[in-house]
Structure 1
Amino acid sequence: MDLYFEVTGNGHPVVLVHSGGADSRLWTYLAPLLSKNYKVIAFDGRGAGKSPSPVTEANYVEDLLALMDDHDLNQATIVGHSMGGQIATEFALSYPERVSKLVLLAPSLTGFPYSEEFVQYHIEVSKAAPDIDKMLEVALHSPTYQVVNNSQNKDLNAQMLKHHFERMLKWPSDFHITWPHPPAIERLGELKPETLFFIGDQDLPDNYRVADYFGKVVPNIRFSVMTNADHMLPLTHSEDLYREIIAFMED
């Protein structure tokens, strides 16, 4: 397995899948808490953190499968944040027998029709390239980061995002992500694992629209809204997440 990973604790396995723009440092506070009760595997996705960069394409769902196979994990609880939640959802749809429970932290969703405002934000960040400091300035201005920007983890969040931009600018021009077909939005009603869905009360409207869609079509799901929280829940609300995830897993 060529992806960087860290394993802590013992017991039922929990695999943590970080968001885009971040790496396994996203779990700096949550992983040690969960490892008191479980075997926790936190890894850097391809092109993130200490893992190798993609060549021309990346299949994050198959990377997650390879990671579990490499660790002889027949089944695990999968926890995914943002794009990591998108990966976790796709994985649970493709390999439901490998997921004991699914925990989603403000996930994105393959095939979801995001708003023009949401798309334009990402375009503006890209237009600032290759000036990484400018990219960082534009990116961090989003409501996505307004709570974490006023927290003790402001610097950690900015460091991860800057590292992501530095690596992303070196990826091949023809790089693309391969997702399962049909997209998850067309199969979401088939999601089998019991699911716990978190979202911050100050997260983006688009992420609430995704949450609403999950609520309408996923048969076995419960929701938790974190107060005084934006999109970066693992950096600002680790204790709250830990308590609810533990209760969910032991239910």
Structure 2
Amino acid sequence: MLLAHDVTGTGPHALLLHAGVADRHMWDPVMTGLSQVFRVLRPDLRGFGETPLPAEDYVDADDVAEVMDACGIEDAVVVGNSLGARVALELASRHPDRVRELVLISPAYPDLPPSAALRDFIAHEETLLDAGDLDAAVALNVDTWLGPDADEATRAALARMQHRAFDIQLAAETDAHARGAAAGTPRPVDVDLHRIHVPTLVVTGGHDMDHFRAVAARLVESIPGAELLALDWAGHLPTLENPDAIEPLLLDVLRDDPTVHAP
């Protein structure tokens, strides 16, 4: 199944992978600047945005490689936020020739056990979803993942994306249960961090949950040559919270890729 996606701009290739509370439109605030310099691919992962969640299990990284093939993209600088950062790591492990550089923002990584705060969030979200209170579950996610710089328009945009994801995923679960089956889930991918040998920047926010700051520290310790950038002002989704700060940061990082010859 080909992921829903869009491609904008001309130049060296950049691949943007969204967080698990959003979809490809989380990158809208930085697209004007990035697409003036790069050819930017933005997919919706399965169960998000315009991509449905079929019944079969899947590997996100393989889906991403397939959409790169469909767009004629041999390799790219890969930027991922949260879930998107985890998929970026999986892509670098399963398809290393497709990744020139990694920018991992508030990265998720399954090998680190969740902190108490993250466990509490998951339990609260599950309680609300089990009760059928989607609006409260959406509000919980908006309040949890956006930092203090996010304005009301940003909060509303994230709420729309999260609500859409819940609608897709819960509908898939309902359909699967009606057939006596389970909804499709991502298959685990072994990621050997020590075997990732591309330039890697890990970005973390001072207002993010402690779990994700711990993940960032683990990645910097384990990926050869990885660098850490701590943004004191940021929460979990800095691209949405303060795009005017993130856009020049991303442009600088992408231009620093020695394989990229961008103005």
TM-score normalised by L of structure 2: 0.87
Q: Among 129, 139, 144, which residue is 1:137 paired with?
A: 139
Whole-angstrom CA distance in 2 between matches of 1:89 and 1:115: 21
Q: CA deviation at 1:248?
A: 2.0
Contact kept, 8 Å, 1:17 with 1:84, in 2: the verdict is yes
Aligned to 1:168: 169
Whole-angstrom CA distance in 1 between matches of 2:50 and 2:98: 26
1:99 aligns with 2:108: no
Residue identity matched to 1:178: R
Q: CA deviation at 1:52?
A: 2.2
Deviation sequence 1:25-65 (CA, Å, 0-9, x none):
10111222111100011121111111122223232111011
Whole-angstrom CA distance in 2 between matches of 1:207 and 1:29: 23
Aligned to 1:234: 239
Whole-angstrom CA distance in 2 between matches of 1:156 and 1:241: 18
Counterparts in 2 of 1:196 and 1:146: CA distance versus 1, 3 Å: closer
Aligned to 1:193: 198
Q: How does 1:149-168 map to 2 (within 5 A)?
A: 149-168=150-169
Whole-angstrom CA distance in 2 between matches of 1:218 and 1:2: 30
Aligned to 1:179: 188
Counterparts in 2 of 1:26 and 1:133: CA distance versus 1, 3 Å: same
Aligned to 2:255: 250
Dislocated runs of 4+, deviation >3 Å: 148-152
Deviates more, 1:51-60 or 1:104-113: 51-60
Residue identity matched to 2:104: L
1:124 aligns with 2:129: no
Question: How high is the sequence identity, in percent, across the aligned residues?
Answer: 24
Whole-angstrom CA distance in 2 between matches of 1:238 and 1:92: 26
Gaps of 5+ in 2: 257-263
SS in structure 2 of the partner of residue 29 of structure 1: helix
Q: CA deviation at 1:79?
A: 0.8
TM-score normalised by L of structure 1: 0.91
Q: How does 1:75-86 map to 2 (within 5 A)?
A: 75-86=75-86
Deviation sequence 1:219-248 (CA, Å, 0-9, x none):
121222223211111112223222222222
SS in structure 1 of the partner of residue 197 of structure 2: coil
Q: How does 1:195-234 map to 2 (within 5 A)?
A: 195-234=200-239
SS in structure 2 of the partner of residue 224 of structure 1: strand
Aligned to 2:9: 9
RMSD, aligned CA: 1.7
Gaps of 5+ in 1: none
Whole-angstrom CA distance in 1 between matches of 2:123 and 2:95: 33
Deviation sequence 1:121-141 (CA, Å, 0-9, x none):
112111112221121233334
SS in structure 2 of the partner of residue 77 of structure 1: strand
Whole-angstrom CA distance in 2 between matches of 1:11 and 1:5: 18
Whole-angstrom CA distance in 1 between matches of 2:140 and 2:157: 17
Contact kept, 8 Å, 1:60 with 1:87, in 2: the verdict is yes
Q: CA deviation at 1:149?
A: 5.0
Residue identity matched to 1:73: I
Q: CA deviation at 1:212?
A: 0.9
Whole-angstrom CA distance in 2 between matches of 1:115 and 1:227: 20
Task: Give the total of aligned pairs.
Answer: 246
